[in-house]
Amino acid sequence: MSIASQMEQKLTQTLEPVHLEIANESHMHSGPATESHFKVTIVSERFKDLPLIKRHRLVNDVLKEELAGRIHALALHTYTPDEWFERAAPVPESPACEGGGKH
């Protein structure tokens, strides 16, 4: 099972998102294009009344095994359903990698 599939399964089971996107952005970074850099956009009622840092900590806790292993970078975009449906702008793009020659 791929890392992205493992992440999807764990996040779905734990946070019951109404929307979940996992983008493998490894190709945008130096080194081989593996499963090491991800952008996760997740919309869950579990984020209600939680500040951003606690939302991120919650996701990091769910993915602690993956983060201790092969994942090098994880960009998180966490929203409540109300925040998600009120958004007029797309999810922010990830910044360019500073660690190598891929630009």
Reported in sequence order, the residue ranges of 1-103 that DSSP labels E, i.e. its strands, are 19-24, 37-43, 73-79
18-75 pLDDT tens trace: 999 999 887 776 666 688 889 999 999 999 999 999 999 999 999 999 999 888 889 9
pLDDT of residue 103: 47
d(CA 22, CA 71): 13
Could you give the CA distance from residue 73 to residue 66 in angstroms, rounded to a whole number?
Answer: 11
The CA distance from 15 to 44, in Å, is 6
Tokens representing 63 are: 């993915």
User: Is residue 102's pLDDT more than 70?
Assistant: no
Domains of the chain: 3-86 (3.30.300.90)
